[in-house]
Structure 1
Amino acid sequence: MAETQTEPGGDHRAPRTRRLTAGAATARRRAVGLLATVISVVTTLVVLVLAVHIVFVAFEANTGNDLVRWFGERATDLCWQFKDVFQPQDHKVEVAVNYGLAALVYLVFGRILVGLVRRLR
């Protein structure tokens, strides 16, 4: 018959192996929760950058401004192949639709990924 380890001094609480397993499970839950939070924050920030760029274009923000230029460059980098999916005549509509589509894709896939990660708990 196998013996279980107990705490030194005769303490008859849960065996040591069970407590370590519970500790590992807690660490896993924390790591999964942290990973899900990081994914959620990153996707939210990407969507925010794309949305701010759309607003700047819609309201004709000064492209000479460093902040406007920074958002435009980041949004262009993050937009992937969505930059020219639709090509309406109006540049504002083009940016709103294409960059909006990219933001929607990030949002949906980010939420799906967060859901899958949270299932690992």
Structure 2
Amino acid sequence: PRVRRSLRDRTAGARRRTAGAIATAISVVTTLVVLILAVHIVFVAFEANTANDLVRWFGDRATDLCWQFKDVFQPADHKTEVAVNYGLAALVYLVVGRVLVGLVRRLG
């Protein structure tokens, strides 16, 4: 015989699935942001051609995503400045993303 689940069980299951989907979305977005910042750091470190559309695209996106972290540290060397500041932004995004994923999963 088929056993029907209670409304509470179905609601809890739906809540867990929704929380899981939201947590996955947060994780994917966080990973993409960190990847964009990391690729920009590599492009700057190895002096990629800034006239290249791909290099420019990553640079523009990374600059937008870096917002308040662009000039936290101001070393004399541009490569070091980008590595430290954009790396700091990537680390903050990663930590905040992981904390949010944990909270969403716990609430679900």
Q: Give the structure-2-normalised TM-score.
A: 0.94
The residue aligned with 1:94 is 81
- The equivalent residue for 1:103 is 90
Give 1 or 2: higher helix fraction: 2
Determine the C-alpha separation between the residues in 2 that align with 1:64 and 1:120: 47
Larger Rg: 1
Identity across the alignment (%): 79
2:79 matched to 1:83?
no
2:32 to 26, 35, 45: 45
Number of equivalences: 108
Gaps of 5+ in 2: none
Root-mean-square deviation (CA, aligned residues, Å) is 1.5
Q: Which has the higher contact order (CA 8 A, sep 6+)?
A: 2
Gaps of 5+ in 1: 1-10
Distance in 2 (CA, whole Å) between partners of 1:28 and 1:113 is 16
1:91 CA displacement: 0.3
> 2:104 aligned with 1:117, yes or no?
yes
Note if 1:68 corresponds to 2:55: yes
Cα offsets for 1:63-95 (capped at 9, x unmatched): 010000000000000001100010111100000
Which moves more between the two structures, 18-27 or 95-104? 18-27
The CA distance in 2 between the partners of 1:24 and 1:48, in whole Å, is: 36
TM-score scaled by length of structure 1:
0.85
The structural deviation recorded for 1:19 is 2.0
2:20 is matched with which residue? 33
